[in-house]
């Protein structure tokens, strides 16, 4: 009895240390290991759990059951309003429902729930999500035999190394890529924008380039970054594109459907801005779906320590400085 009680106490006290943002994200069984991963890392994000699965989910950027997401983010789904979609600030969502007769809107802890609510016209509040309904994950992450797992393979995501550098791949073989756009002087005459795509530290697929064409806006740069991530990835490789552009994600997962039905005009009858980029992105996503690969777009709050987001932002800013070089 005493022995069993003692073992039970030990089991309850077992902790797993999840590092979401650090030198090497993952799950660690000792505080010393965890501390090594966060010491000297700007914007480190970590937490201890008694459940290994919860720790794995937290390290992978998921919202863990029983706790709010780490940044306290909320997602406002507007199913019936001026411009239905998912908004990350209540002030923006409120604008879409003011003056609307019978608006439908709801607050969620996860973007996937909010998107499903919008897609269903406000009749459903939760479901699984994928911006492309993908079947099997057929894509090869590339030279798997030569790659070495850098963290516990039991975690939801692992950082692997190939000849191109470090990249993040989840247990289903889905490659994670972060995208961002930057425009210096956005909205003003003479603005210059850049595009950033970040697969991982030192990855040869990373992109830092000036935005082509006009106008040189932040929104066009953000959409172009998503497009470039699709263009440089094999059609059969499932992707999770992580962006801090709520606009870009709404455009390519929700709004495009109503725009297409309305001859590419907004709810107010004005032509859709950046139609060319939205159509190209959707064409790539549909083509990839036809090859059995999924394309998921995930929102992350910008400039709050997410290592991939910071990497993409740095590449985008550098790209904006390449004009005329």
Please name each of the domains of the chain with its CATH number.
14-59 (3.40.970.10), 75-119 (3.40.970.10), 144-320 (3.30.420.10)
Picking from 87-91, 119-123, 249-253, which range would have the lowest pLDDT averaged per residue? 119-123
- Give yes or no for residue 40 having a pLDDT over 80: no
Residues near 96 by beta carbon (within 8 Å), at least 6 away in sequence: 78, 81, 82, 83, 84, 85, 87, 103, 105
d(CA 308, CA 198): 7
List, for residues 80-99, the tens digit of each pLDDT value.
888 888 888 888 888 888 88
- Give yes or no for residue 323 having a pLDDT over 70: yes
- pLDDT at res. 175: 92
- Greater confidence, 8 or 234? 234
Q: Say what percent of the chain tops pLDDT 90.
A: 38
Question: Parallel, antiparallel, or unpaired: how do β-strands 239-243 and 295-299 relate?
Answer: parallel
Query: Which helix (H) or strand (E) covers residue 157, if one does?
Result: strand 157-162
DSSP 8-state secondary structure symbol assigned to residue 159? E
Picking from 61-65, 159-163, 280-284, 298-302, which range would have the lowest pLDDT averaged per residue? 159-163
- Give yes or no for residue 195 having a pLDDT over 90: yes
Closest CA to 222 of 144, 290, 299: 299
Question: Parallel, antiparallel, or unpaired: how do β-strands 85-87 and 26-28 relate?
Answer: unpaired
- pLDDT at res. 43: 56
Task: Give the chain's mean pLDDT.
Answer: 78
Across residues 139-164, what is the average pLDDT?
35
- pLDDT at res. 25: 80
Closest CA to 175 of 39, 295, 284, 324: 295
How far does Cα 71 stand from its chain's mean position? 14
- pLDDT at res. 158: 45
pLDDT-based confidence at 168, cuts 50/70/90?
low
Q: Is-contact 132 140, C-beta < 8 A?
A: no
Query: Which helix (H) or strand (E) covers residue 309, if one does?
Result: helix 307-320
Q: Is-contact 269 258, C-beta < 8 A?
A: no
């Amino acid at each position: 009895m005493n022995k069993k009680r003692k073992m039970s106490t030990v089991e309850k006290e077992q902790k797993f240390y999840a590092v979401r943002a650090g030198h090497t994200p993952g799950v660690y069984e000792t505080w010393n290991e965890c501390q090594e991963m966060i010491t000297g890392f700007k914007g480190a994000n970590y937490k201890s759990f008694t459940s290994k699965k919860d720790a794995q989910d937290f390290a992978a950027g998921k919202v863990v059951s029983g706790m709010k997401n780490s940044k306290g983010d909320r997602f406002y789904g507007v199913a019936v309003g001026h411009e239905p979609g998912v908004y990350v600030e209540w002030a923006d969502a409120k604008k879409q429902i003011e003056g609307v007769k019978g608006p439908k809107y709801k607050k969620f802890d996860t973007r996937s729930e909010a998107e499903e609510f919008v897609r269903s016209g406000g009749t459903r509040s939760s479901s699984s999500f994928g911006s492309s309904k993908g079947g099997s994950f057929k894509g090869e992450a590339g030279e798997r035999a030569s790659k070495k797992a850098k963290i516990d393979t039991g975690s939801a995501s692992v950082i692997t190394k190939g000849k191109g550098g470090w990249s993040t791949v989840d247990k289903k073989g889905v490659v994670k890529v972060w995208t961002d756009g930057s425009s210096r002087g956005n909205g003003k005459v003479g603005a210059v924008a850049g595009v950033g795509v970040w697969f991982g530290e030192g990855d040869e697929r990373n992109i830092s380039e000036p935005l082509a064409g006009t106008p040189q806006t932040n929104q066009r740069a953000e959409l172009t970054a998503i497009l470039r991530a699709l263009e440089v990835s094999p059609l059969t490789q499932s992707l999770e594109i992580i962006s801090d552009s709520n606009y870009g994600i709404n455009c390519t997962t929700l709004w495009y459907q109503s725009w297409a039905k309305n001859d590419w005009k907004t709810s107010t009858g004005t032509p859709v801005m950046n139609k060319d980029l939205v159509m190209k992105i959707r064409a790539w996503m549909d083509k990839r779906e036809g090859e059995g690969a999924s394309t998921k777009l995930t929102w992350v709050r910008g400039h709050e320590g997410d290592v991939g987001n910071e990497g993409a932002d740095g590449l985008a800013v550098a790209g904006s400085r390449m004009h005329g070089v």
